[in-house]
Amino acid sequence: MNRYIEILLLTLKYFSPVREVKNPVMFITEISTVVALFITIFPTAFNLPSTSTYLQFYTAVVILLFLTVFFSNLSWAISEGKSQAIAASLQKFKKETTAHLKKGEILVDVKSTDLIKDDIVVVNKNEAIPMDGEIIEGSGYVNESNITGESRPSLKVLGDSVTATTTLVTDHIIIKVTSNPGETFIDQMIKIVASARREKTPNEIALTTFLSGITLVFLIVAALIFSMGYFFLNPIDIMIIIVLLIALIPTTIGGLLPAIGVAAINKVSEFNIIAKSGRAVENAGDIDTIILDKTGTVTMGEREATKFYPNSGVDYTEFQRMCLLSSLQDQTKEGMSIVKLAKRENPNLPDTLEGYRFEPFSAETRYSGIFKGDEYVVKGALKTLKSKYSLQDTFIEALCKEISSRGGTALPVVSNGKFVGVIELNDMLKPGIRERLSSLKSMNIKTIMCTGDDEVTASYISAESGIDEYIANSTPMDKYEVVLKEKGKQRMVAMVGDGTNDAPALSRADVGLAMNNGTQSAKEAANMIDLDSDPTKLMDVIFIGKQILITRGALTTFSIANDISKYFVIIPAMFFFVPQLAFINILDLQNPILAITAALIFNTIVIPFLIPLALRGVRFKPSSLNSLLKRNLLIYGLGGVILPFIAIKIIYIALSAGGVVW
């Protein structure tokens, strides 16, 4: 019940002229309500009759005008009330905890609110993560259910970001704090969601300008009609002029437009995505190029070692040992899977590096491995290892090609200047990915897949999934260059990323979706963040963006179309004394005042009837622009013309049957 009271109070608060002036159509309606109220209270001051019949009509007009503004504000309040509720639920997760701050070799317990950026903090099993950070040592499973709603803990490894208020449920980790108090991810989410009273998007500004122009035109038309009444020596009641103005200006879309804008941000939040601005959601509706990673987006993203292939002359057990040692401190998911496979096949393999130094994988080197003096064992991309160590091995190359041809990933291993074998990693296409990509094609959206895999694997996955183009052996810089290239063709570009090296491309893309488990720099560069860290959400974002644009267009079409019907009701009623205009009274409404009242009632009640549609969105089915346009015109254009005729006639008959005799 409290929520309904809050929405009601918010609705009444929005009657403030300071706020209403931002919506010109409703501002004119509110001014008209005030003028109509003065006319009702002081009719003689306007040279109008003050009989009970006229006063009843005037009172009805004031009530209907008030309700028109009220229903518009109600739609706005419902949208923003939902945003405030989301923000309030997030606020509950903010809590002060004890943090183990590392100062040199000692740990000092401090309040989490005292931590600042770049502090080093130790988090133990079953402790809350005190501040947003990046793992610099260790790994473990983190319960993020308060952020994502997913009860299953997710594995966090070296380089992954962790979020304040989530809980480490296994092992222990050391993190480097990446935010100051009041700047955590939770804080940003609260600010983003709570600030539903955001700046208007470019399309919304353009539409508001268009609606303002139409409103100005009808203000002039209303003034001219008022003057024409004197020309025909039959002055028109100024209250009827007010009704004409409100019936003709696009009050339907004017009343719902603010709610649609706020609902856009709320709608993506239902998918566990935080949009930093309405512009980001709107951009999603105009996307015509989408850049996808292979791993985790097109494929399941759980690449695991499935088989070891030693080179000719290399003992299988020795190859297992080399694979294990090169991966013991490799905290990537692939590295952990190599250790797991080796230990499962041979439990007697060593558990220490035996004096070797581990060098982790990086986007620049594209390999990882162990080193001790002149000895080394490294694993990485075939092209990289061939170039770095000047190696040629036809058997290894053929084996890598054969693994790639069936969609696997080949990870060659080099030891002391020789290819010693290949590790096979396997991934699977995500269920339904082909159908989802096909939906994008139906909307003329080009798909480009970037993958660090070789040409053969990239070609195979691309063909299997229905990707338009692919870039094999790609680096983060390739993504950035693809974004620039596509934008150079005047195309709107969307991409997904999670690493620091993805940040430049995310910042340049029109829609940049960062993963919640990605780095802080990636989340700062993007204009959307997926709390579930599911890269395929980028496609959901595009569908939502399309739906928002279609909803706005459909309601605008309907609003303007139903004005046409009201012309054929109000104009004949106003000029019933001009026989030449009788032919446009196609509904045969004989009581002019009753006809005007029926039109105004329809004009008022259509807004609350459309509020659910504005908040939910028009049903969207991926198809071409021409198909969407035809559907829009047929349903909301033609329907917007026909429905008011039927509704107004029914209201007129009901008023007559009810004994209203104005």
Final residue in a domain of this structure, among 403, 426, 449: 426
Residues 371 and 504 in one domain: no
More confident residue, 609 or 354: 609
Phi, psi of 291 (to 5 degrees): -105, 125
pLDDT tens digit sequence for 169-180: 888 899 999 888
Q: Is residue 209 part of a domain?
A: yes
Q: For residue 103, is it within any domain?
A: no
Comparing C-alpha atoms, which of 465, 545, 450 is closest to residue 506? 450
In single-letter form, the type of residue at position 610 comes to: L
Helices (H) and strands (E) in the chain, counts: 23, 23
Q: Which two structure tokens, joined as six digits, stand for 37?
A: 């109220």
Q: Are residues 247 and 229 in the same domain?
A: yes
pTM, whole model, 2 decimals? 0.67
Per-residue burial over 395-412, b = 16 or more CB atoms within 10 Å of its CB, e = otherwise: ebbebbeebbeebbbbbb
The answer as to whether 142 is a domain residue is no
Q: Is the pLDDT of residue 200 over 70?
A: no
Q: What is the pLDDT of residues 38-48, one digit of tens each?
A: 999 988 887 77
Residues 442 and 355 in one domain: no
- Is 233 inside any structural domain? yes
Q: Is residue 188 part of a domain?
A: no
Residue 102 lies in a domain: no
Distance CA(330)–CA(328), nearest Å, equals 6
Q: How far apart are CA 323 and CA 643, in angstroms?
A: 72
- Reading the block at residue 289, the tokens are 């190029």
Residue 440 and residue 376 share a domain: no
Residue type, 326: S
Instruction: Give Cα 578 distance to the centre of its chain.
Output: 55
542, 571, 595 — which closes off a domain?
542
Assigned domain for 174 exists: no
Identify residue 311 by its one-letter amino acid code: N
Find the DSSP H helices in 346-426: 382-389, 394-405
Give the CATH number, domain containing residue 344.
Answer: 3.40.1110.10
Secondary element (H or E) of residue 173: strand 173-177
What is the three-class DSSP state of 437?
Answer: helix
Q: Are residues 290 and 335 located together in one domain of the fold?
A: no
Question: How many Å is the maximal CA-CA distance in the chain?
Answer: 111
Residue 117: inside a domain: no
Give me the number of domains the chain comprises. Answer: 3
pLDDT at 166: 85
Residues in the chain: 662
Domain shared by 567 and 639, yes or no = yes
The one-letter amino acid at 155: L
Same domain, yes or no, for 283 and 420? no
**450 close to 297: Cβ distance less than 8 angstroms:** no
As a whole number of angstroms, the distance between CA 220 and CA 223 comes to 5
Catalytic annotation present for 293: yes
DSSP string, 194-245: H--SPPPPHHHHHHHHHHHHHHHHHHHHHHHHHHHHHHTT-PPPHHHHHHHH
* CATH number, domain containing residue 485: 3.40.50.1000
Helix, strand, coil percentages (3-state) for the chain, rounded to 5, are 55, 15, 30
Q: Tokens at residue 369, please?
A: 């491995």
Q: Are 310 and 418 contained in the same domain?
A: yes
Hey, what are 423's tokens?
A: 């590790």
Q: Which of 237, 293, 532, 534 is catalytic?
A: 293
- Looking at the fold, whether 198 and 260 belong to one and the same domain comes out as yes
Q: 361 vs 197, which has greater pLDDT?
A: 361
pLDDT digits (tens, 9 = 90+) for 64-88: 999 999 999 998 888 777 766 666 6
Q: What is the mean pLDDT of the chain?
A: 83
331/633 Cα distance (integer angstroms): 56
Are 498 and 517 a contacting pair, CB within 8 Å? yes
Please indicate, yes or no, whether residues 386 and 407 belong to a single structural domain of this protein: yes
Residue at 233: amino acid letter:
L
Q: Does the pLDDT value for residue 151 go beyond 70? A: no
pLDDT over 70 (residue 544)? yes
Burial of 104 (0-12, 13-18, 19+ CB in 10 A): exposed
pLDDT of residue 598 exceeding 80, the answer is yes
Least Cα distance to 129 among 84, 166, 178, 92 occurs for 166
Predicted pLDDT of residue 157: 79
Which is higher by pLDDT, 573 or 206? Answer: 206
Identify whether residues 433 and 537 lie together within a single domain. Answer: yes
Pick the last residue of a domain from 510, 542, 574: 542
**Structure letter (DSSP) for residue 23:** S
Q: What confidence tens digit (pLDDT) does each residue in 255-311 have?
A: 888 777 777 777 777 777 888 776 778 788 888 899 887 777 788 767 789 999 999
Pair (263, 350) in one structural domain: no
Between CA 586 and CA 579 the distance in angstroms is 14
Q: By residue range, what is the domain housing residue 637?
A: 2-87+193-268+543-657
CA distance 155 to 21: 51
Tokens 């005008």 belong to: 65
Rounded Cα distance between 455 and 381, Å, is 12
